């Protein structure tokens, strides 16, 4: 597995249902709690919160927080498993929200309401678990595939929220993805899902499709000042031409702002394999300062 690095340049209502603990025998230093929140459209959703077992209620220091939106068709619980025992080992919290698009949960595809919900996650966490204190100077976003797409949109729309962000193998041009779905197994169903989620076809609602495409926010990302890592693979079997997706976004950011704090990491892994506790995720977190 090879990779190349370009160096970094010099609330709505919240449910009050009690949190539930989920034990994991292999998570010796991390515990998982389930909280509930009300999404932008009034639907109640779950979020899976990972905390260091050593964190002392009310008396613990403020914790760095990672907001981690899930990938397309992958639920928040599965996304939480990608983190393994890293939160407990390194002393930070992770919130994995179920999410909610305009119409769909697992296929939100960067819906503006979903991005607004992601921006509320620090407040949602502290409201649901008042004994947890978030270090608001150290809030990050990390996501893969569709979660990477939503991470990039969070950087663009809420730059003052974040101290850093990591996008793994993200689609950045949703219209291009709509076309690419035709060549994928199950692609016709995906085309119907994305059309239903957005409310129409690309030529019918061009602005709605642009509002979910990070490439159309390249200028905002370039000016955000948020340290950003863009990871992508030349062997991605899901987003087959990442040079024109994440790679193009990286090039556009530097063209628009040569001093932007953006780093590109390119490798030959399968889609989102690097976003795992036992793969490249620890290295990405170390680059954020979460080690």
For residue 239, give the 3-state DSSP assignment. Answer: coil
Residue 1 has a pLDDT of 35
Residue 184 has a pLDDT of 87
Are 65 and 121 in contact by the 8 Å Cβ rule? The answer is yes
Instruction: Give phi and psi for 100, each to the nearest 5.
Output: -165, 120
The Cα 15–Cα 204 span in angstroms is 37
Residue 57 has a pLDDT of 85
Residue 181 lies in a domain: no
Say which residues have a Cβ less than 8 Å from residue 86's Cβ, sequence separation at least 6.
30, 277, 281, 282, 285
Residue 184 lies in a domain: no
For the record, the structure tokens of 247 come out as: 């790679």
Residue 168 lies in a domain: yes
* Predicted confidence pLDDT, tens digits, the chain (291 residues): 333 433 333 233 333 334 444 445 466 999 999 999 999 999 999 999 999 999 988 888 899 999 999 999 999 999 999 999 999 999 999 999 999 999 999 999 999 999 999 999 999 999 999 999 999 999 999 999 999 999 999 999 999 999 999 999 999 999 999 999 998 889 999 999 999 999 999 999 999 999 999 999 999 999 999 999 999 999 999 998 999 999 999 999 999 999 999 999 999 999 999 999 999 999 999 999 998
Residue 27 has a pLDDT of 67
Count the helices and strands in the chain (H runs, E runs).
Answer: 11, 10
CATH number of the domain residue 38 falls in = 3.40.50.1820
Residue 199 lies in a domain: no
| Residues counted in the chain | 291
Domain range for residue 84? 3-173+210-288
Tell how strand 228-233 and strand 262-267 pair up: parallel
Residue 26 has a pLDDT of 60
Residue 200 lies in a domain: no
The Cα 291–Cα 285 span in angstroms is 7
Residue 262 CA to its chain's centroid (Å): 16
Residue 60 has a pLDDT of 80
Residue 193 lies in a domain: no
Residue 188 lies in a domain: no
Residue 101 lies in a domain: yes
Instruction: Count structural domains, the chain.
Output: 1
Residue 56 has a pLDDT of 86
Tell how strand 44-52 and strand 93-97 pair up: antiparallel
């Amino acid at each position: 597995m090879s990779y190349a690095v370009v160096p970094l340049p010099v609330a709505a209502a919240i449910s009050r249902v009690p949190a539930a603990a989920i034990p994991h025998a292999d998570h010796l230093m991390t515990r998982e709690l389930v909280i509930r929140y009300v999404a932008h459209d009034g639907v109640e959703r779950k979020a899976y919160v990972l905390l260091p077992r050593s964190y002392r209620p009310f008396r613990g220091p403020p914790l760095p927080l990672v907001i981690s939106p899930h990938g397309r068709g992958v639920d928040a619980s599965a996304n939480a498993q990608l983190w393994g025992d890293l939160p407990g080992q390194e002393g930070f919290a992770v919130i994995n929200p179920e999410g909610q698009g305009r119409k769909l949960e697992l296929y939100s595809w960067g819906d503006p309401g979903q991005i607004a919900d992601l921006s509320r996650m620090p407040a949602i966490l502290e409201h649901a678990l008042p004994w947890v204190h978030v270090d608001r100077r150290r809030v990050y976003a990390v996501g893969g595939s569709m979660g990477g797409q939503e991470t990039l949109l969070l950087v663009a729309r809420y730059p003052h929220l974040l101290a850093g962000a990591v996008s793994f193998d993200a689609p950045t041009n949703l219209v291009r993805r709509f076309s690419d779905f035709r060549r994928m197994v199950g692609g016709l169903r995906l085309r119907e899902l994305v059309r239903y989620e957005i409310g129409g076809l690309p030529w019918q609602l061009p602005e709605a499709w642009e509002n979910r495409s990070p490439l159309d926010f390249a200028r905002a990302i370039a000016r955000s000042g948020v340290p950003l890592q863009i990871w992508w693979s030349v062997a991605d079997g899901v987003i087959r031409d990442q040079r024109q997706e994440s790679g193009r976004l990286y090039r556009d950011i530097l063209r628009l702002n040569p001093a932007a704090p953006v780093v590109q990491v390119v490798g030959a892994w399968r889609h989102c394999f690097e976003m795992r506790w036992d793969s490249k995720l620890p290295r990405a977190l170390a680059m954020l300062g979460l080690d």
